[in-house]
Structure 1
Amino acid sequence: MKPAARPLVVVMGVSGSGKSTIGERLAARLGLPFEDADDFHPPENVRKMSAGQPLDDADRAPWLAAMADWLSERVRSDEGAVLVCSALKQRYRDRLRRASPALFFLHLDGSEELIAERLRGRKGHFMPASLLRSQFEALERLQEDERGAAVPVDGTPEETEEAAAAALKRAGSGQHQSHD
């Protein structure tokens, strides 16, 4: 498949890192469609997570396939997109990347303490704070051979959005991205 002419971005990170907030802001800024990976989960996955049970790879397979199909359609239509998805493991990112080699991952990166504090203040989400530790244990940070950048989330949403936009701009110019 040819790379998308418009950006195709996955905003990734653990639950509570600000994926939806930053993803929506970035999509609006870039004039791109926005989608949340939570909307791709089958009902049984939502029930499992709501009960405080982490998902396993078998649970994630249809979820990843549905998102990869959605990304592939964005490539075919050449419209670009911003998808927010935990994408914690490299093999999950590899599965999504099959939709387009131009897929760019923005890892919203913060300490477990900061994210836990944010989760305690969040209401009405099916992902309980009790699963945060399992997400940090599962997290495989972006590798040098992965197209993407880590963006710190310890500032305001505006600061995080600016850092994300700058990382995308550097990627468009071919500059190497830091994965610290």
Structure 2
Amino acid sequence: MENQAVLKKNTNKFSTKDIVLIAMFAAVMAVCSWISIPIGAIPVTLQTFGVFCALSLLGGRNGSFSIAVYILLGAIGLPVFTGFKGGLAALTGPTGGYILGFILMALLYWAGTKLFGSKLPVSIGLLTAGLAVCYLFGTIWFVFGYSKGENTMSFYKALKLCVIPFVPFDIIKLVLAAVISSRVKKQLNL
């Protein structure tokens, strides 16, 4: 009975395996953000694929910490964001809200898996809802950031520029990440 209490008490701690996987997926997100296809003013990257994989493979808690580590690495100036950018300017600029929105996505995923479990359909649903929240937060941030000074940007125009062209790509990345992660989890017993 005493051993069960000790085991239960230690479940909130990070194991060495957890720490390694959190760091590894922060690096995976950085590499994924560097892979880009220029289709306009904002390139298509695999950054969201890395975020989806981190959450799907590591779960809500560890995935959230991995995303936080990734963002903190960028905030201190390491070139981990799209276009090898880093620093606070990348986060506070007009498109920084989409990166910060990953935290909201992760927290939603974490809470959702606590409530509904992490089966594949639930995972896809939570990642989709998280992506929508990330889009909303990032678009509001973009409108606010772009509209400083003499520039003006409507919410609809920002959606047309920053979200609508990326929805098909992000849905494909989301489904691929969820399916691949589900298979990898089984193979690696994660």
TM-score normalized with structure 2 length: 0.30
Query: Larger % of helix: which?
Result: 2
Query: Larger % of strand: which?
Result: 1
Work out which structure has the larger RCO, using CA pairs closer than 8 Å and 6 or more positions apart in sequence.
1
